[in-house]
């Protein structure tokens, strides 16, 4: 089984799917593909689940488990964020692959302004996007940048711990929810007494966590976290909406003062058909944007200010980023148009730009090659697999 994990990761798999009655599947370049021609039995999946669980007490309760999170490492391959669940009475396992090395901003394809964002001494930095949009990698890159350049204490609260950070110029403390601390709220309250300079929270899940996070930012710490929101404007609205209506005016004032930047991400298939590229909207909270948040009635103007701040502040909207990706040939016009916030407006801008630059009536389109077939050495690797009881 571990050979299949390695083969999947070598092909760039982001997630592994293991389910009784189904093939071993992996998400490669955004598509879920079968890597074996033998279906797994319920007992095989149960044994794999036990192999992935490190807590002996939890293993004894395997038959009572309905949802279970943990992390697991495979030497020379990487770490995995593991979710074990019940479906139709049997086990199913989803594993998110986490590389051994922490990526840099350049490797992730993020713009140079990310370094300036990481250099904030206090305040709140949020990385947002749907599940599987690369938020964890961007957060890890922010931590690594600070770790290599500053002298301080970085404290992370994760569920589970994903990227492992070595102490460089900083001392890095990584706490896992459930094993090292009870929950995010308790861990975050305790963090304020643990002399941190930088605090990373895996996710802002509720009003209580957001309130404590803002307190951390207000008391001189740099706090980083994630939200499942599609862009900068909706991030501000979502955070306010988590509070009762009578509290929202105060929350908006606190947010305007503590928020420093929002990085919103989407992953798109590359024009070559191999791999994916990140499209990012980046909002720096300038005095003008701070005023929009304080006003409360003008939040809809945030996108316009981001667009206008590209040259001076390094900000960019999704559509500006997508336009750059198309012009560089990283993604096709059709893929970019489908991902744009306003597809018709995006098409118009691309057409005007293309006519000006090339004298043509449309943007260049790059044909995407057909998907890859699973390699012969992987297909059939599960043939006759026996798992020791």
pLDDT at 357: 63
Give the pLDDT band of residue 358 (cuts 50, 70, 90): low
pLDDT at 55: 85
Q: What average pLDDT score do residues 293-307 get?
A: 95
Beta bridge partners of 378: none
Q: What average pLDDT score do residues 150-178 get?
A: 94
User: Mean pLDDT lowest for which of 98-112, 204-218, 342-356?
Assistant: 342-356
pLDDT at 302: 96
pLDDT at 360: 45
CA 254/CA 258 separation, integer angstroms: 6
Cβ atoms within 10 Å, residue 287 = 6
pLDDT in tens, 182-192: 988 899 999 99
Q: Which residue has the higher pLDDT, 29 or 332?
A: 332
CA 373/CA 54 separation, integer angstroms: 34
Cβ atoms within 10 Å, residue 8 = 26
pLDDT at 382: 47
CA 130/CA 229 separation, integer angstroms: 7
Q: Is the pLDDT of residue 178 over 90?
A: no
Q: Is the pLDDT of residue 378 over 60?
A: no
Tokens of 386: 């026996």
pLDDT at 54: 84
pLDDT > 70: percent of the chain: 91
Q: What is the mean pLDDT of the chain?
A: 89
CA angle 13, 14, 16 (to 5 degrees): 75
Q: What average pLDDT score do residues 150-165 get?
A: 94
CA 96/CA 135 separation, integer angstroms: 13
pLDDT at 377: 42
In sign, the C-alpha dihedral spanning 163, 164, 168, 174 is: positive
Give the pLDDT band of residue 356 (cuts 50, 70, 90): low
Q: Is the pLDDT of residue 316 over 90?
A: yes
pLDDT at 91: 95
pLDDT in tens, 234-285: 999 999 999 999 999 999 999 999 999 999 999 999 999 888 999 999 999 9
Q: Is the pLDDT of residue 41 over 60?
A: yes
Cis, peptide link before residue 108, omega less than 30° from 0 = no
pTM confidence score: 0.84
Q: Is the pLDDT of residue 306 over 90?
A: yes
Label residues 340-369 b or e (16+ Cβ within 10 Å = b).
Answer: beeeeebbebbeeebeeeeeeeebeebebe
């Amino acid at each position: 089984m571990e050979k299949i994990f390695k083969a999947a990761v070598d092909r760039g798999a982001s997630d592994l799917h293991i389910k009784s009655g189904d093939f071993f599947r992996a998400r490669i370049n955004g598509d879920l593909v079968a890597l074996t021609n033998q279906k797994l039995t319920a007992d095989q999946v149960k044994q794999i689940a036990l192999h992935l669980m490190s807590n002996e007490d939890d293993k004894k309760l395997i038959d009572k488990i309905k949802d279970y999170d943990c992390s697991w490492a495979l030497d020379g391959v990487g770490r995995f964020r593991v979710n074990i669940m019940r479906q139709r009475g049997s086990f199913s396992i989803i594993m998110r692959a986490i590389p051994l090395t922490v990526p840099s901003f350049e490797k992730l394809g993020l713009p140079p302004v990310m370094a300036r964002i990481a250099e904030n001494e206090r305040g709140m930095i949020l990385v947002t996007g749907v599940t599987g949009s690369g938020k964890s990698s961007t957060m890890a890159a922010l931590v690594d940048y600070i770790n290599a350049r500053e002298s301080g204490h970085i404290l992370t609260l994760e569920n589970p711990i994903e990227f492992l950070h070595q102490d460089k110029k900083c001392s890095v403390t990584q706490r896992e929810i459930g094993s090292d601390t009870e929950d995010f709220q308790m861990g975050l309250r305790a963090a304020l007494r643990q002399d941190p300079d930088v605090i990373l929270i895996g996710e802002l899940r509720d009003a209580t966590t957001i309130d404590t996070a803002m307190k951390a930012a207000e008391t001189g710490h740099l706090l980083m976290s994630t939200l499942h929101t599609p862009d900068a404007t909706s991030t501000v609205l979502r955070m306010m909406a988590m509070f009762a209506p009578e509290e929202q005016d105060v929350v908006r004032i606190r947010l305007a003062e503590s928020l420093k930047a929002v990085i919103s991400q989407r992953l798109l298939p590359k024009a070559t058909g191999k791999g994916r590229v990140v499209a990012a909207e980046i909002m720096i909270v300038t005095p003008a944007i701070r005023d929009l948040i304080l006003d409360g009635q003008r939040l809809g103007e945030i996108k316009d200010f981001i667009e206008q701040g590209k040259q001076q502040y390094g900000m960019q909207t999704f559509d500006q980023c997508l336009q750059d990706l198309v012009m560089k040939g990283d993604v096709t016009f059709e893929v970019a148009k489908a991902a744009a916030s306003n597809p018709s407006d995006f098409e118009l801008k691309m057409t005007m730009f293309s006519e000006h630059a090339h004298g043509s009536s449309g943007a260049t389109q790059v044909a995407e090659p057909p998907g890859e077939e699973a390699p012969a050495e992987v297909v059939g690797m599960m043939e006759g697999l026996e798992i020791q009881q």
